[in-house]
Structure 1
């Protein structure tokens, strides 16, 4: 892999990730990594003119998850190069097929894009999760989900039913399902892990979302679908989230 790192941050996590990634996979295009001070620019990847470009914040590049984050982005690059359906299928087309003629809240449409990104992440993570110890990934999801469910009163009033913070509880439940599914897909969770309790709390706050349903759909995604099968699975996921009648029928 040809990789160059520039900017005010360490190159070691990216070079180390590249060496590890190359034990199983190859990238034909060169990789250019640019580390920026802007903390809002966590990661952004583009594929232009035969070059993969990764822009990443200095905060992310110096974090404990820097190597794993680099592996994750290299895996996205690999799936792009091999034209995996998850990385070439237009999300706009999927949403049009799934929601044409339906009235859907703007927030739900936004969440559907996030669900599509979760699917892309699962297919990227399929390439690298087995290359590195999974403990840090488990702890990352645990801390992220714990933060999402922690913002509630210790002694709530009877009318207080929310168990998640001000962020939308529906997509929080889907995010929890994604975390469980990804870790289960790679056998990284013990049956009594705290993450199950955290996901249960998120699910209680989103009664219209089937946490177990999304967990099952994410976990059982076909590793190598053809374009048609992938499109059908994404249409089903979109409808399950955005359309109440589809969720009720599931």
Structure 2
């Protein structure tokens, strides 16, 4: 794990994006592949799951988390919780959706953070390996079954995965993954999959806090509209 971290840190440093705050890493059992906790000026703690640490994608995960670190240290608005909260406050959520909506909204915004992090990770470290990783993520999402919440979560994962691959020109126009996504949307009555994919693909950079807030509010409204259009 140390060698993987050192390789990532060296790649970021060579590109002029070395972290300036201290970085620590811990490998531990956790339900997700990884995460990073950051405290301004004090440092970052990268959490890596046991599963990820034992996989071939360990360096890719660390590179992704390093992308979050770079965005956080730079004060990028996509990684500013105040911007997130302002965007969410602009969206009126009907009472019937109030309990579950914060989770799906945070997922939609989390994908935005991930894409901005991958703008560093993919070109610096991961490259074409992203195709297999995000392709599998999208394929798993197309198998989603459940209520309207589950289906919208699945649509967000598909839109994020394909949008991210398109952003880095890693998905051909006739790739079978696009057909799977279209079949999922048609089969589950998802009307906004194309719109969501385009939002993720075309995230602007650089961007201002105001522009990012507008974008996130629009994204969240699109998700809410999809939920409201679906049968309970």
Residue 16 of structure 1: aligned partner = 7
State the match for 1:198 in structure 2: 180
Tell me by how many angstroms 1:56 deviates.
1.4
Q: Secondary structure at the match of 1:165?
A: coil
What does residue 219 of structure 1 align with? 201
The answer as to whether partners of 1:177 and 1:212 remain within 8 angstroms in 2 is yes
Query: 5+ residue gaps in structure 1?
Result: 1-9, 151-163
Q: Which residue of 1 aligns with 2:152?
A: 170
State whether residues 64 and 117 of structure 2, in contact with CA within 8 Å, keep that contact through their aligned partners in structure 1: yes
- CA-CA distance at 1:222 after TM superposition: 1.0
Alignment of 1:146 onto 2:139 = yes
Structure 1 position 71 matched with structure 2 position 71: no
- Secondary structure, in 3 states, of the residue corresponding to 2:218? helix
| CA distance in structure 2 between the partners assigned to 1:15 and 1:117 by the alignment | 26
User: SS where residue 14 of structure 2 aligns?
Assistant: coil
Residue 103 in 1 paired to residue 98 in 2? Answer: no
For residues 90-112 of structure 1, the C-alpha deviation after alignment (integer angstroms, 9 at most, x for no partner) is 33332121226x43513333111
Bigger proportion of residues as helix = 2
SS in 2 for 1:29: coil
Post-superposition Cα deviations, 1:144-194, rounded to whole Å, max 9, x if no partner, equal 2223334xxxxxxxxxxxxx3347112211211111111111111111212
1:42 lines up with 2:24 in the alignment = no
Q: Distance in 2 between matches of 1:97 and 1:133?
A: 36
Q: 1:25-36 maps to which residues of 2 (within 5 A)? A: 25-36=17-28
Count of residues in Structure 1 that have an aligned counterpart in Structure 2? 223
1:240 has 2:232 as partner: no
Output aligned runs, 1:110-125, within 5 Å: 110-125=103-118
**Larger relative contact order (CA 8 Å, sep ≥ 6):** 2
Q: Against the structure 1 CA distance between its residues 21 and 211, is the aligned structure 2 distance closer, same or farther, given a 3 Å change threshold? A: same
When residues 120 and 142 of structure 1 are mapped into structure 2, their CA distance, relative to the original with a 3 A threshold, is same
Contact 1:86-1:120 at 8 Å conserved across structures = yes
Consecutive unaligned residues in structure 2, runs of 5 or more: none
Structure 1 residue runs of 4+, over 4 Å off? 244-247
Q: CA deviation at 1:41?
A: 5.5
